[in-house]
A = this chain, B = another copy of it.
């Protein structure tokens, strides 16, 4: 073999990583395969030795990133990180200013609607898993934990996107702060008796 064992797998993963960053930074539609391959130190044609089509790449990138992020969450929880910390990190100025290494859902969810059913089904599974991870971290035993988990993730996704879209830095900070506080209040005040009120 011209290349050492595992070389192709390494290249494959490098393409995934670079595409993941570019897709999150610039959107899926506006990133060409040529620019991905150039960043990976390869030429146009080599792409099809690794993926059937751009759509295949999109699906694989999405799965890869969401799995990586899930692993981070699980590791974090093992090491004692709280749901509160997850919320603060998600709604931090750093996350807002670094799309390329952040949550893909916030980065290009409105583009996902225009992708293949297969890609969206993968997204559905990974998203349900996030809902479950959050739900497991909510204190108490009321039946609203599932609803709360969904709402907290929705709130974070919407707020992060809004904070990124506005041009006014003060408004942007306000959005992050408001959403953090509301999310935290949702997990801390929603004990059994409060939930029963709703």
Residue of B nearest to A26 (CB): B114
Residues A124 and B168 in contact, CB atoms below 8 Å apart: yes
Instruction: Produce 1/0 per residue, A127-154, CB < 8 A to B.
Output: 1100000000000000010111011011
Q: How far is the CB of A99 from chain B (nearest CB, A)?
A: 8
The majority secondary structure among interface residues of chain A is helix
Q: How far is the CB of A179 from chain B (nearest CB, A)?
A: 5
A182 partner, pick from B26, B147, B165, beta carbons under 8 A? B147
Residue of B nearest to A155 (CB): B155
Cα-based distance from A128 to B168 in the complex (angstroms): 10
Q: Chain B residues near A29 (CB, 8 Å)?
A: 27, 29-30
- Which candidate, A7-15, A48-56, A79-87, A104-112, is the interface stretch facing chain B? A104-112
Cα-based distance from A183 to B30 in the complex (angstroms): 34
Residue of B nearest to A182 (CB): B151
Cα-based distance from A127 to B174 in the complex (angstroms): 13
Does A186 make an interface contact (CB < 8 A)?
yes
